[in-house]
Structure 1
Amino acid sequence: MMRCLVACLICAATPLWAEEPLDGAAFEARVTGKTLTFQVQGQSYGAEQYLPGRRVIWAFDGGPCHAGHWFEPDPGRICFRYDHDPGDLQCWAFFDDGGQLRARFEGALPQDDLIEARRSPVPLACPGPDVGV
């Protein structure tokens, strides 16, 4: 009886299926040619324009634009490197969440996931002297 109770508790604590992140090809197909705006916990966070050749332009909400690129060093692990800070590597797992992207920073908790708030074909607006980075 005790073994059955322990087995039931383990099953209840384990999801029936593991959430699988998008691989690089699926991510690329979803984002290339688009600008995505992200929120975290209902607050505006930033936007990223995804260009051909895995190039990107990122801006925190109200911040300057930063050019960079992304790559997939391991299946389901999408990493970004930005030209203004080439030593800083930022890796994420992207999930399909009912047609929207959800992004989890490596080592972060699910409640801190970035949620796609808007998708547009319009390029990211980059005002100031670095227009067109």
Structure 2
Amino acid sequence: MLELKENVLDTDTYLYLRKKVGWIKLTDKQAEQAVNNSLFTVCAYLDGEPVGMGRVIGDGAVISYIQDLVVIPEAQKKGIGRRILLRLKRFVEEITEPGSRMMLCLMCAKGREKFYIDNGFTARPTDKLGPGMIIYIDKDGDRESQTT
């Protein structure tokens, strides 16, 4: 049975799920800060085991970002990612001040664009919006990793 839990994400689960999808290894300090500085988190549990997560980060007033939306490979294609995404979007709707508008942004992994487009997001660039940009600030000076 699938269960979504809000704001229970801990560092160990965060690191476990990132590892299961092959994302870069973080230090424990990075992981702890990332989790603690989230505005909102959702964890998906299948039969009591963590299989997915998502975080909302940002200022909570003008702009928020969906960050680290992952579902482990063996639990994909079951609608879990969509359920996490919908709950993250609903959270942002709930905190948006009446009469205002908040931007909800994300950067998706290559090949995952359709999932987000199908869930209401706009791929950039558009006629009015330029492409997203990224730069990695690497203390070790590993410039090669900036494109991965």
Band of TM-score, shorter chain: under 0.3
Higher relative contact order, structure no. (Cα contacts within 8 Å, ≥ 6 residues apart): 1
Q: Give 1 or 2: higher strand fraction.
A: 1
Q: Which has the higher helix share?
A: 2
The normalised TM-score by structure 1 is 0.27
* Higher radius of gyration, 1 or 2: 1
Question: What TM-score do the two structures reach when normalised by structure 2?
Answer: 0.25
